[in-house]
Structure 1
Amino acid sequence: MDVTLDFSGRRVLVVGGAQAARRVLARYLAAGATAYLVSETAGMPDPRVRVVALPRSRGGWSTLVSAVDLVALVEASPPNDQAIVEACSAERTWLTREVPAATGRTGQVTLVGGGPGDEGLLTLAALAALRGADVVYYDRLGPRDRLAEWAPGAEYVNVGKTPGHHAVPQVHIERMLVESALAGKTVVRLKGGDPFVFGRGGEEVIACRAAGIPVAVVSGVTSAIAVPALAGIPVTHRDVSRLFTVFSGHTPLSEDELAHLVGLGGTIVVLMGVGTLAHLASGLARHGMRGDMPVAIIERGFSDSQRTTIASVDTVVTTAAGVGARSPAVLVIGEVVGLSESADAAAVELMQAAATIAGQA
């Protein structure tokens, strides 16, 4: 059952092993319910859960079921399963079947791409992974305002980084993931964008595999495409740009890399590039890029304060300084910038002319 209702003051009886039922219990507790557990196996549940004895007769089940508002059936032997169904029917008590959580000695880790920050861009697979999490390690740029709703009852740990400041070093994050999984927990690593696009997801996968931890990856919407799109900029456009290159501006490019980048043509998308913008702009110009090539700086994508600033290769550094451009920002360099909602009519005409020339070539 999707526990989105207010269960305050409601009595919920959960049937199943303490480990198998742990996520179900956590969700109902988070929703305000008074939770009871009846189990065929030994095990210590959350201390907030009230443990009741396993009924030994159909009459015992009827008495127990009649005292609660809802029965959540996680796992039971066939005879008890049938007795519970019959008791709920006779007592007119709501019955829902829930999926048991993993109960192995070792848990599992799922890297989840949360997209560029807009919760509407979370995938169904991402929400499903969060729903089953015992602990969520989340980043600064991913969606997190509704974690209590998406992963009710889970533990939430902020391991986010800010430019120039890594409060939790990457190696420590990897150790935390492994230790939580070795403790038998279902772990979600919620990351902004896509885990494998400058998200250091590969390092976390390697760390988990080295420790023998099962690990899966849920892809996310990358800001490299989604943020420009929200600003009205397609990274490709027929007869204008048939390829795009994405790179991290965290470290300045070498002269060879700059030369190859200019030679490729198409659209250039830079993530985390505000700090190295001066080096990039001068380097592109030095290796032959036109000074009037359009550049867009899209700050704080998918937030209420998103801002797009349009300039050119030869003016972007001065323009960025003038408006006080700061991270997080996505840079887009290429003729497609002319399609931006912030571009003026002259820029749009320039791009249309470029398309015409390309079509005649």
Structure 2
Amino acid sequence: MAEHPAYPVGLRLAGRRVVVLGGGQVAQRRLPALVAAGADIRLVSPEATPSVEAMADAGEITWEQRPYAEGDLADAWYALIATSDTAANDAASAEGERHRVWCVRSDDADRATAWTPATGHSEGVTVAVLTTEARHRDPRHTAAIRDAVVEGLRDGTLVAPHRRTRTPGVALVGGGPGDPDLITVRGRRLLAEADVVIADRLGPRDLLAELPPHVEVIDAAKIPYGRFMAQEAINNALIEHARQGKAVVRLKGGDPFVFGRGMEEAQALAEAGITCTVVPGISSTISVPGAAGIPVTHRGVAHEFTVVSGHVAPDDERSLVDWPSLAKLTGTLVILMGVDKIGKIAGTLIAHGKSPDTPVALVQEGTTAAQRRVDATLATVAEVAVAEEVRPPAVIVVGEVVAVGPHGTA
């Protein structure tokens, strides 16, 4: 048997009996995929890891808390033999052979009748990698090949041509805080499949250079507005390109629904009958402070954090922020779009009870190569921001967490 390669096949186990012998780490790794396949799973083992026990408690598997016994594989379609008892494993393998049950053995692959491939998934595609020769039977090798293929499918570097009719639609993709490596896997894949990308200035611009030549990249800031407001013009551009049957990606910085006007675009697309997919992004509200060494929460320091927009000053009638209430909070305050208003914001917070000595950090161009952090207090932040020439985009963090960590004093 060792001279012949394994024949690859996909088992459809939904509703079919699968027997797992042993409740240790091997079972813990393999059970989730069997559960996802809809198998009727029977676990036979005197003991189980806490994770496996939790699956039994949740009703995902049936656990018979005892050692293997002859007859356990009689009604099985597939078996995973993973006990620490070699004699029991041999007996179970022999039973599987008699009943024509395909058996995987964790202790001796050469004596198994089936092997578990290294598997991965990407948008409806399952990648399974098996070694064909004993001398190459290294789990790390097959896992590395699997990871390379799946990563290529996910990030778009490995693209197979799609021979199907595409439904017009728009994906609102959160690009993350700026570092191109911080976009989600799904967001990067959709970028690779796009015909048109309408990008914000704060999106991960480096990713645009990786797009194929046929992709039309549109700078949202340069869309002719004419008699339209800027947002209305962007909405119209999304609708127009989608109606042409193109796959459109609206690439935004951070998350589409965190001060990104994503819902306005989603509503406009819905009214136009255009399919819209929302791909969440890593918000700069937590990622930029984190990249600068600031935890927005920390045990014994801050039990909550509040995110506000500072694009209008506290005394502006358009402001929807309850600044007096924010001044009374003991947690962390994260302010976006507030660099040019920080003087008035700091003054308002102090006027309503916030200590002038409260630490403040301004993190400019967070997560990018140009990132820099400027520290101050509420009493000095306006002066320091001007002296240090802090420019947008910058995330402002107010609170004792600023003094926590390698850059702080706590």
TM-score by length of 1: 0.64
Question: 1:310, 1:342 within 8 Å by CA — same for their partners in 2?
Answer: no
Shift of 1:149: 2.5
Paired position in structure 1 for 2:360: 295
Paired position in structure 1 for 2:342: 277
Match for 2:394: what amino acid?
A
- Cα distance in structure 2, aligned partners of 1:131 and 1:257: 42
Match for 1:224: what amino acid?
T
1:322 paired with 2:322, answer: no
CA change 1:337–1:101 in 2 (3 A) is: farther
Match for 2:166: what amino acid?
T
- Cα distance in structure 2, aligned partners of 1:283 and 1:151: 50
Aligned length in residues:
243
Question: 1:115, 1:222 within 8 Å by CA — same for their partners in 2?
Answer: yes
Question: 1:309, 1:342 within 8 Å by CA — same for their partners in 2?
Answer: no
> Which structure: larger Rg?
2
CA change 1:298–1:103 in 2 (3 A) is: closer
Shift of 1:326: 1.4
Shift of 1:246: 0.6
Deviations, residues 241-284 of structure 1 (Å, cap 9, x unaligned): 11100111111235971111122321000011101101100000
Match for 1:313: what amino acid?
L
- Cα distance in structure 1, aligned partners of 2:308 and 2:399: 15
Match for 2:263: what amino acid?
G
CA change 1:188–1:97 in 2 (3 A) is: closer
- Cα distance in structure 2, aligned partners of 1:101 and 1:266: 52
- Cα distance in structure 2, aligned partners of 1:243 and 1:157: 39
- Cα distance in structure 1, aligned partners of 2:347 and 2:308: 17
Shift of 1:146: 3.2
Match of 1:232 among 293, 296, 303: 293
Question: 1:111, 1:216 within 8 Å by CA — same for their partners in 2?
Answer: yes
Shift of 1:148: 4.3
Paired position in structure 1 for 2:190: 129
SS of equivalent residue, structure 1 residue 175: helix
- Cα distance in structure 2, aligned partners of 1:160 and 1:341: 38
1:103 paired with 2:161, answer: no
- Cα distance in structure 1, aligned partners of 2:170 and 2:258: 18
Question: 1:134, 1:185 within 8 Å by CA — same for their partners in 2?
Answer: yes
Match of 2:244 among 163, 183, 203: 183
Question: 1:132, 1:151 within 8 Å by CA — same for their partners in 2?
Answer: no
Pairing of 1:16-55 with structure 2 (within 5 A) = none
Match of 1:241 among 286, 297, 302: 302
Question: 1:270, 1:330 within 8 Å by CA — same for their partners in 2?
Answer: yes
Q: Gapped runs of 5+ residues in structure 1?
A: 1-95, 162-166, 349-361
1:313 paired with 2:374, answer: no
Q: Percent identity?
A: 46
Paired position in structure 2 for 1:199: 260
- Cα distance in structure 1, aligned partners of 2:218 and 2:314: 34
Match for 1:212: what amino acid?
G
Match for 2:345: what amino acid?
L
- Cα distance in structure 1, aligned partners of 2:264 and 2:165: 25
- Cα distance in structure 1, aligned partners of 2:210 and 2:364: 28
Q: Gapped runs of 5+ residues in structure 2?
A: 1-158, 223-227
Question: 1:296, 1:311 within 8 Å by CA — same for their partners in 2?
Answer: yes
- Cα distance in structure 1, aligned partners of 2:199 and 2:264: 16
Paired position in structure 1 for 2:203: 142
- Cα distance in structure 2, aligned partners of 1:138 and 1:265: 37
Question: 1:135, 1:154 within 8 Å by CA — same for their partners in 2?
Answer: yes
TM-score by length of 2: 0.56
- Cα distance in structure 2, aligned partners of 1:241 and 1:199: 27
Higher relative contact order (CA 8 A, sep 6+): 1
Shift of 1:123: 1.1
SS of equivalent residue, structure 2 residue 348: helix
Shift of 1:320: 1.3
- Cα distance in structure 1, aligned partners of 2:255 and 2:192: 19
- Cα distance in structure 2, aligned partners of 1:146 and 1:199: 19
SS of equivalent residue, structure 1 residue 275: helix
- Cα distance in structure 2, aligned partners of 1:147 and 1:324: 29
Question: 1:131, 1:152 within 8 Å by CA — same for their partners in 2?
Answer: no
CA-atom RMSD in angstroms: 2.1
SS of equivalent residue, structure 1 residue 295: strand
Match of 2:275 among 205, 214, 224: 214
- Cα distance in structure 1, aligned partners of 2:213 and 2:174: 19
Paired position in structure 2 for 1:342: 407
